[in-house]
């Protein structure tokens, strides 16, 4: 597989448009799916030994999630960028199609405590009630499609836990359309027949940060992939 579309590259920071079905990094036991960059991967440094030099992964996207994925070309820049995530100095915005409309209204905030379910081979996460929140996101409704009860939403991920958006949405009975792990099998099957959606409708559409080397505001956008755009066209 060739390297996905490059959205941004200043010689230090590189952003790619990760396709759905491509891993952010190799996972034990997942040998069939392609990986974003060529070369061996070191889990300690989170770096690919790519043909043109090392590429340090700064965060990750789920296998089915498409969109903006950030990396760096040297370890020091990677360290500085990675420190910006927990400090909430990098904005990550997603486009999602939800089943049903959030009860909170046109915009709101979701706070939950998420924990991985132990003993399962595939990473699975659940909401644990009456615990201090460790997961936060903001949502804003873009459009509601009344005939299907689907909602197009923009989601800003404040924290970045495994499967966070998917689990928080599903726990409110508003799962992401096409989510085979946390969503509705029946609804996903119906929507596949009706709209041809073969995967989860979740796309990392935009990343914003102040460049650690220059201090300049940096905005990187990834257009909605053709398969997801076609679903919206049919809904309209």
Catalytic residues: 62
Long-range contact list for 28-33, CB < 8 A, 24+ apart?
A: 29/121, 30/63, 33/63
Long-range contact list for 194-200, CB < 8 A, 24+ apart?
A: 194/234, 195/230, 195/231, 195/234, 195/235, 196/227, 196/230, 196/231, 197/227, 197/228, 197/231, 198/227, 199/20, 199/21, 199/64, 199/227, 200/20, 200/62, 200/64, 200/65, 200/166, 200/176
Of the candidates 220, 168, 215, the one whose C-alpha atom is nearest the C-alpha of residue 59 is 220
In whole angstroms, what is the distance from residue 155 CA to residue 140 CA?
6
In whole angstroms, what is the distance from residue 141 CA to residue 19 CA?
24
C-alpha to C-alpha distances, 41 to 45, 90, 111, 210, 235, nearest whole angstrom: 9, 24, 34, 28, 41
């Amino acid at each position: 597989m060739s390297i996905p579309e490059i959205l941004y590259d200043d010689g230090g920071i590189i952003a790619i448009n990760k396709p759905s079905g491509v891993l952010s990094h190799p996972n034990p036991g997942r040998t069939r799916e392609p990986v974003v960059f060529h070369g061996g991967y070191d889990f300690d440094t989170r770096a690919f030994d790519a043909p043109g030099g090392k590429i340090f992964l700064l965060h990750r996207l789920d296998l089915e999630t498409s969109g903006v994925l950030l990396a760096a070309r040297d370890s020091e820049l990677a360290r500085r960028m990675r420190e910006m995530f927990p400090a909430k100095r990098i904005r990550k915005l997603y486009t999602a199609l939800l089943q049903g409309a959030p009860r909170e209204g046109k915009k709101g905030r979701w706070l939950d405590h998420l924990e991985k379910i132990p003993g399962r081979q595939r990473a699975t996460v659940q909401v644990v009630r009456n615990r201090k929140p460790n997961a936060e996101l903001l949502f804003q409704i873009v459009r509601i499609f009344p005939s299907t009860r689907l909602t197009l939403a923009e989601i800003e991920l404040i924290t970045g836990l495994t499967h966070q958006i998917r689990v928080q949405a599903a726990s409110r009975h508003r799962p992401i359309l096409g989510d085979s792990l946390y969503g509705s099998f029946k609804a996903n099957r119906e929507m596949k027949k009706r709209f041809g959606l073969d995967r989860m409708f979740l796309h990392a559409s935009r990343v914003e940060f102040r460049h650690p080397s220059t201090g300049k505001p940096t905005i990187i956008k990834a257009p909605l992939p053709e398969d997801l755009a076609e679903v919206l066209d049919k809904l309209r």
